[in-house]
Structure 1
């Protein structure tokens, strides 16, 4: 009994296109032909096609199947390797689903690390400040993340003078800038006194403190206008001068 290409494709549960592709890449041997030129497939071809179909359904790539050769020997090593790969993939999926559940349950921000801070703590931040926090989470180490997370969840209420920083125009005059600095200095001093670990948060940055400083500085130059950057610079200088270097970088 010999089958045509269409017949053997149907028997194997695959497609004509797949059969032709397997021939092209050398995965399936070419069959003999009738006098009229039509291919005639036999049982060996069907067994090979069924094997290819089963392996691809399991998740093997065609190059992997080709590497197994034409032998009917049970591919135990390859099957075990695939099983390990699928187990790892299932763990990644399980972890992703757990994170999705947390995002759905508490409306956590998708751009921040899971379990970093409570959603209500992030909700208090301005859009600009939250963007800066996102950047910082990409360059901080585990200890730095923990310290900043604690700060964000316990940050003291900002007085009106500090809140004015968010709306400071780029062309703010000298007296306005100086006034905001006067409010920021005692506020930040109190924050650092309550969360001293933040001052050393760069210490375990994966790529080092200098990389952290460059990255955060670049983000700040984009997120804040010239007047805001000037106010922050002055505030840091005062904190460093009066508190013996306890201002942030």
Structure 2
């Protein structure tokens, strides 16, 4: 198949495929006698792997290393690994549907909504920080309200006790507005835009410094898989910021297995 067919198969643009070639992530097939490059099944699998690795928050350099290792592996082994990953995604979708079913139940009962279900701490926080008129800020508020609706009481109380403390910090509003502005700028760009990494680093650094007051152990409970169900409301590049930020936070605070029993 030609480059356009390969791109269409994976739902990306030909510009993205060429960018991966230029970065040395995807090997570029040699030109045939007719001047065209012919792509095969292994190329399609490699492109699918790159897109999944990027979606999980890996940097392009890390994705390049994985794809380079794949060249020495059997295609059947790679496909089996992709199948296992799809099985994990399937379970995540089931879990997400279960959470959404609870929200739907509350909506049908007429009890869904921040004024009816949100804790006083959340409402006070949202009023204090006065989120700007921003699509990114609107998503953030909806996420907070959903978490407050479906979370167990202990987790909700712990989270919004922290938010109440943050609301008293004037730096929160300034930092938040800057974050939403920069996140909104990524609404219509590719998920490998060079502005993604600096913004993710800013969010991670601020979170580790100000939002993990227990010495960082709370960050060990975070994971890309945990927040993945909540990223559907964001554009691909915006979601990538959150994924990369969480990976950086996890690397900074250590894996969950490091916690004592």
TM-score range, shorter chain: 0.3 to 0.5
Q: TM-score, normalised by structure 2?
A: 0.40
| Larger Rg over CA atoms | 1
